[in-house]
Amino acid sequence: MSLWFYAYFNIGYLPIICASILVNYFVYRLMQRDGVTQGKRKALLILGLIFDIGLIFYFKYYDFFIDNINHAFSTDFVLRHITLPLGISFFTFQQISFIVDAYKGEAKGYSFLEYALFVSFFPQLVAGPIVLHKELVPQFRENSRHHINYDNLSKGIMMFARGLAKKVLIADTFGSAVDVAMQKAALFPMGDGALTRVEIIILMLSYTFQIYFDFSGYSDMATGLGSMFNLKIPMNFNSPYKALSVADFWKRWHMTLTRFLTTYIYIPLGGNRKGKARTYLNIMIVFLISGIWHGANWTFILWGVIHGLAQCFNKLTSGIYKKIYHGAESLSGILGKALCGLIKAVQWIVTFAFINVAWLLFRSDSVTMWLLILRRLKFDFTDVRTEILEGFRLPKFRYVLSILHLPENDNMVFWCGFILITLAALIICLCMPNNYERKYRTNVLSLVFTWVILTLCIVSLSSVSTFLYFNF
């Protein structure tokens, strides 16, 4: 019945999910055979991952990849205009988690029927939550869940109804304003007819609430339907707009995706166990993957990068915040409480404002549209003489801007160079050991890195000015 539910939308999608289930279960069964060595299990894991990632790449990112190749190298490879199968991101991630756990020996004795139902169970099939096998399959096996439980049934109906109300009554109301505003933004990016400052603020707030009540509503509906069948589906939202930081936001928003990225990507990369620089790199990789997972558009990729940078900044400054907050707490009476409340209020305002601007990027058709809308908010970065910023020009950066479909004018090149170089300098100063403290390891990575930076230095020698201390 879950497969019927899935095929009802478009029967052409049915062979895709069935093939995905069959291949992954076949890989799982091969892993479970007696006498299979660790090396063979690892090879099977790699094959399974290649299949799953290849499947999602072909259907979700193939045209995006080819389009960017054509743009970057002036080629004319034909786009296939592939229709994206419903829920492929969700059921693929569920199966990736399953075969990884199977490789670790944490998924044993599952029948094909149990596995197929775990992947295709209709309440969470289309838009999550991303459920783990150990959360659902053991529940399938409990006989007490095979009979109607009227407490669970009534609880499920109530939760489903509230979730549906979030979607239909609240999210769709905000959505109508968002659609009109985005149409106007696409038709009139600048000049007469362009969005006013108040309209842009309305657009941002409307989409912020639309996406919250839409996705939160769906998750409530999925949980409610699960309860009707006596099955517990994990929580996916925990009042994310109460967050006082971006890190707190991601502990509350789409919690099962955060859990997946943490368990199956961040921790295997080393998490925070290999020093600060590696920790920040791992965070950026995770959020880049999160952005890519959300869609085949540079807007999603940049959205992931922005959230990653915010997460790194949050981690970098958390110690300072704790000192300030503990200092405020140490004050006695009303003054201390008021100061603590003020700190939290400022944190919430900054976090919520950031989320709004980031959601606007998430919703925009292109990065260019997002930038044009923000420019209408009267953020003027043009009142600086270009000769001051000339030194921040990055070689071949116009090529990068062209790939991202961003304006390629001098102002954009200069400002991007200034921002990137300043951020790089800040990271080096604050996060990395100086050259006297660094441990120099004689390995391939050190060799390659050394020769790359040496070559770059030699190429750049012609533009290097005289050493300052030569004048002294």
Which one of the listed residues 294, 307, 326, 405 is annotated catalytic? 294
d(CA 7, CA 284): 37
- CB crowding 65-100: b at 16 or more within 10 Å, else e: eeebeeeeeeeeeeeeeeeebbbbbbbbbbbbbbbb
Q: Which residues contact 338 (CB under 8 A, 6 or more apart)?
A: none
- Is position 294 annotated as part of the catalytic site? yes
Rounded-to-5 percentages of helix, strand, coil across the chain: 75, 0, 25
Q: How many helices (H) and strands (E) does the chain have?
A: 20, 0
- Which of 156, 174, 250 minimizes the C-alpha distance to 214? 174
- Which of 27, 6, 96, 26 minimizes the C-alpha distance to 56? 96
DSSP strands (E only) in 281-413: none
DSSP 96-161: HHHHHHHHTT---S--HHHHHHHHH-GGGTTT-----HHHHHHHHT-GGGGS--HHHHHHHHHHHH
Q: Which two tokens stand for residue 93?
A: 């991630």
How open is the CA angle 179-202-258, to the nearest 5 degrees? 75
Name the residues annotated as catalytic: 294
